[in-house]
A and B are shown apart, each in its own frame.
Chain A
Amino acid sequence: MEDNHMEENEQKLETEVAPALIAVHPSQISVSVSVGSELRVFSLQDGSRVKLVDETGGHKDSIRAIRSRVSEKRVTSLAISGDGMFVCFADKFGVVYVVDIGDCNYENTAPVNKKAVPILSHYCSIITRLEFSPDGKYIITADRDFKIRVTVFPKQPLNGAHEIQSFCLGHTEFVSCLAFISCEDYAQGLLVSGSGDSTVRLWDYASGCLLDTCDVGAEAGLLHSNQRLEEVLPAITDLCATADGSLVAVAVQSLPGIMLLGCSFSTRTLSVVKVVSVEGETFIPTSIGAAPSFPLLWMVMGASSLQSNDSALLARVRAVSGFTANTSESTESETSVLEDTEIPGGEPLLQALQGKLSIGEEAFSTAAEAVKTAMRNLLIKKQYSAERREFRKRGRNDKKNQTPA
């Protein structure tokens, strides 16, 4: 009875909701937010919104798209290699492709059309994040089946990435985000991962060895003491590390703000430094980012295609100053959430990236719930009861293929 009702509800959730994403130029020249199919870029240098044009037009003051590639299946994640020579992306069936972009530059207006070539795959598993290691030797792919795969990224990647270096296994739910931390003494760096199991883990990724686990959900006080087993844990949604690698900002579902973790290369452990709360609004970041040498953490909360009539797109940008490691004890007081008047770029930036200056409180909670539900539906495997499985098999017509007794 209950099962049939559930099936109807599933069909109602056809509307797709996607979280807003934020990215910061490595030299903090500009900040961009994507929400739905809109890409908004603000130039901090010029203090104005940047015009985006496709490959047919535009002049030198705008950002011009110089390549587009069509993927047969939906793209779930993407990264550019450190040397800027290749772009890798994954489709929703877990196949990773590489495109050679080495010939891309301003002058080259009639480029050779290079195809995307498949190089590796996670067997039928959605790849949630794709990153290159800081030294460029490896490509790291994380998936919905709790795995992180470390593969050697060869000098000639168009021939495929065949050599698996290691698997980082330990998460008990989908892996949602990856970040590297490295320092002068340890250029290879360590890997930090976040997951739907509400933990952040530290790995020696070259060996696949799990070094430490931080139970972020519990540390942030987000778990209820009478939590039923069926309830979903608050997922880690994004990670961002400081340039020197000793601080990691963590965005968690249900936490209005971010949690700061400290990473030690000597003890190879993670520790909780503090929780940075956003006051005055239920701001739960869906994506965070920072430029390597700037002590400023940018955050966005937003979603597209909400069911409320208000607006189809919602994006709210906030920033945290003091995002840098300090050896002195004064770290505690220095990280603080900036007011709208204090944020670099000020109101013009907020207007450009948010679409409007003020957003109602109700819109926040609607967005937070919508994004949480969407992530759960996409990435958490449905557990069907035995009766439900049999019911779902009723449409099968391959009985004729059974082997004879």
Chain B
Amino acid sequence: MEVSNPTHSKTTGLPRKRFYRARAHSNPLSDSHFPVPVSPSQFDCTVHYPQFLKSDSSKKIEFADIGCGFGGLLISLSTLFPDTLMIGMELRDKVTEYVKERILALRASNPGHYENVSVVRTNSMKYIPNYFEKGQLTKMFFLFPDPHFKEKNHRRRSRWIIYTITDVEELGVWMKSCLEGHPLFEALPEDELEADPVVKLLSTATEEGQKVERNEGQTFRAVYRRIASSLPH
């Protein structure tokens, strides 16, 4: 097995980022060549979480990191929420490969850990409904999204929460106004933000976030929860 592999570090076994670099932003408008499940029931999670689902096959993915980049947030969340399945969605081929290799290496060097996290290469703007059933996700993360793509898609305390953060002020203001203006979302109050361990990770756990801190930049955060729907079921 061990011909020296330059793409992975000899000491840690972890993949080296410089062999997996890609352009910072990809074009979600072009239909790239990757398979997409026809519907959530056809999304095979056993290839993503083989160990985890062997012991509990009924579990479903609850956290999704949209545009997960090099996986910093997911890796942190994995140990914070060991019983929760989570997935990263990333458009860039090389970057997805990096995250895959990183997770595999972490699983190998930490037996029993990181079995609850995985990554899939896809265009989440178009295909999120293909992967998850209604109400399945309880947390969605939009960390440092591409400022060029400002899409419009884009009461009762529910567990469904959206986390967003950016260092681009105009984008931050816009994302907050979208969520604030959306009748089905309300802002998380200060006390809840303090108490949520995930909130701190938004600025510290990712490469982007660490870069902004090093440069003493400002970040703009918006965390909103989904409130009950209007129609009775």
Contact = CB atoms under 8 A, between A and B. Distances in A.
B183 A159 contact: yes
B64 to A, nearest CB: 16
Given A162-B183, A208-B134, A403 B29 contact: no
Contacts of A389: 33
A170 B40 CA distance: 10
Contacts of B183: 159-160, 162
Contacts of B152: 95, 118, 121
Interface of B: 18, 21-25, 29, 31, 33, 38-40, 125-126, 129-130, 134, 151-153, 182-184, 229-231
A84 B38 CA distance: 35
Q: Which 10 pairs between the two chains have the least Cβ-Cβ distance? A: A169-B39, A167-B129, A405-B18, A123-B125, A403-B24, A402-B23, A123-B126, A381-B31, A124-B29, A163-B229
Most chain A beta-carbon neighbours within 10 Å: one of B126, B151, B230: B126
Q: Give the most central of B22, B23, B182: most A CB within 10 Å.
A: B23
Interface of A: prevailing SS: loop
Contact of B231 (A163, A167, A172): A163
Interface residues of A, number: 36
27 contacts: A121-B152, A123-B151, A124-B125, A124-B126, A125-B126, A149-B129, A152-B229, A159-B183, A162-B183, A162-B184, A163-B184, A163-B231, A164-B134, A165-B231, A169-B38, A169-B130, A171-B38, A172-B38, A398-B23, A401-B24, A402-B21, A402-B23, A402-B24, A403-B23, A403-B24, A405-B18, A405-B21
Interface string A153-176: 010000110111111011110000
A147 interface: yes
A160 B184 CA distance: 12
A207 to B, nearest CB: 9
A125 B24 CA distance: 24
A145 B126 contact: yes
Given A152-B229, A169-B39, 6 more contacts: A124-B126, A137-B231, A146-B38, A154-B230, A166-B134, A403-B22
B14 to A, nearest CB: 17
A403 B95 CA distance: 12
A383 B35 CA distance: 12
Nearest to A381: B31
B182 A162 contact: yes
Nearest to A386: B33
Interface of A: 95, 118, 121, 123-125, 137, 145-147, 149, 152, 154, 159-160, 162-167, 169-172, 208, 210, 381, 383-384, 389, 398, 401-403, 405
A161 to B, nearest CB: 11
Contact of B153 (A123, A147, A167, A169): A123
Given A170-B39, A403-B21, A152 B151 contact: no
Nearest to A124: B29
Given A146-B38, A398-B23, A169 B129 contact: yes
A178 to B, nearest CB: 17
Contacts of A167: 129
A228 to B, nearest CB: 20
A160 B183 CA distance: 10
B2 to A, nearest CB: 25
Contacts of B153: 121, 123
